[in-house]
Amino acid sequence: MKICQRCGCENDDDAVVCKKCGFEFADISEDTFKWILLKTASNEFEGDIIKNLLEENGVVVMMKRPGPGYSLSSPFANPLLGSAGQWNIFVANDDLERASEILEAQLSEEEEDGTNEDDDEGDK
């Protein structure tokens, strides 16, 4: 028996997510591949940029529209999403930390003046 940390619901021992609230049980994910939501892009273009950036750095990325049943042919299918173009960007749990660092580095780069010919990555 496993008690959900979020809602207190009782789940089976081998449950991956809470059957009631969807909470992900982290303690069993040590060596289990899992997609983690890294960031929500405001449109597909932004999502593609992030995806390419991460893939260039060897991070496996999955992009997915939030919300079930969304379809391009019915733009009003999910009005809660607001602008119809949002994309969720998922990375593997193992890559989450690295992906966050890559994104942060990219963001701080964009604030500078675009003259970034020197890529001095700190080697470990």
CB nearer to Zn ion: pick between 18 and 61: 18
Which of 11-19, 37-45, 56-64, 100-108 is the region at the interface with Zn ion (rule: CB under 5 A)? 11-19
CB of 29 to Zn ion, least distance (A): 16
CA distance 72 to 84: 9
Exactly one of 2, 9, 44, 94 binds Zn ion (CB under 5 A); that residue is: 9
CB nearer to Zn ion: pick between 16 and 49: 16
As a three-state string, the secondary structure of the chain is CEECCCCCCEECCCCCECCCCCCECHHHCCCCCCEEEEEEECCHHHHHHHHHHHHHCCCCEEEECCCCCCCCCCCCCCHHHCCCCCEEEEEEHHHHHHHHHHHHHHHHHHHCCCCCCCCCCCCC
Per-residue binding string, Zn ion, 12-51, x by CB under 5 A, is ------x-xx-x----------------------------
Residue 3 found at the interface with Zn ion (CB under 5 A)? no
Which of 6-14, 39-47, 64-72, 89-97 is the region at the interface with Zn ion (rule: CB under 5 A)? 6-14
Q: Which residues bind Zn ion (CB under 5 A)?
A: 4, 6-7, 9, 18, 20-21, 23
